[in-house]
Amino acid sequence: MSLRDMGNEHFKAGMYKEAEQLYTQAIAEHSRSDPKVFSNRSLTRIKLQDWPGAESDARKAIELYGTKNATTAMKSHYYLAQALLQQRHTAEALVQAKYAYSVCLENKDSSAELISQFILKAKQAAWKAREDARLRDMNETLALVEDLLNQQLKRDLAAVEERFQQGEIGETGRNEERAELEEEAENRRANIRRGFQDPANPDTTERVVPDWLIDPITFEIMHDPIVTPTGVSYERVSLLKHIKASGCDPITRAPLRSDQLIPNVALKNAASEFLDNNGWAVDW
């Protein structure tokens, strides 16, 4: 069994540290030009939450796959997107994820649904970053309080990481404690934001675009939604374009014709009302 195969077996068993070591050994000894090893180590480092390492490996895998192997390189683009998002490089994360998604749609790959959910998450993160900057610019005191909250979170996360490195807690414990700390910090941030809201000034409220308003293909706000037999709504133009190119449902990959689509009148009315009352949404 090759070192890469051994790494794969350890990865399947959830032994990510050991898998990473085996992939690293494989690269050092004989696999410097094998994109699969770099791609596999990228995913392993995602599991270990080593975001810079995952980013580096994904970029190397994409380089080795080359421009003529878009289908096989798709997962590496998705891994790169995940690593970038965790490092708050949201713009490039969206570019990489959308590319992976387009390859999935073209090849009717089952990963399309998973990546579409990631893209929405990434776009929401990009929007939230812009909202954070807008609200902080409006109120220096809010910015100061949130900076203190962020500094405390960094210290708490560093303490958890130190305990993990010293072997006091395992990987599962580390991930659980990190998630709890981040959730607690987010709840505190939400409470702080509410405390700084001015009922007389709507601009002091954080603005959110609801998920139901977003087209699952273009990830833009829908204006003329239509619904498929499976009950999923899309923007008319984007879905018709997809059907013309592939003849299938974007999510289920089942055959789909344009005459099977029905206008979603209720959603269209709700979208129109939301946009009428929230003109800022054009910036989404």
pLDDT of residue 38: 97
Question: What's the pTM value of the predicted model, to 2 decimals?
Answer: 0.79
Q: Tell me the backbone φ, ψ of residue 88, rounded to 5 degrees.
A: 65, 25
Nearest alpha carbon to residue 149 among 179, 175, 184:
184
- Which residues, listed in sequence order, are joined to residue 110 by a DSSP beta bridge? none
Q: Is the dihedral of CA 195, 196, 197, 200 positive or negative?
A: positive
Taking only the tens of pLDDT, the chain with its 284 residues reads 799 999 999 999 999 999 999 999 999 998 899 999 999 999 999 999 999 999 999 999 999 999 888 899 999 999 999 999 999 899 899 999 999 999 998 888 888 889 999 999 999 888 888 889 999 999 999 999 999 999 999 999 999 999 998 999 988 899 899 999 999 999 999 899 889 988 888 888 888 899 999 999 999 999 999 999 999 999 999 999 999 988 999 988 899 999 999 999 999 999 999 988 888 887 88
Distance of CA 98 to the CA centre of its chain: 10
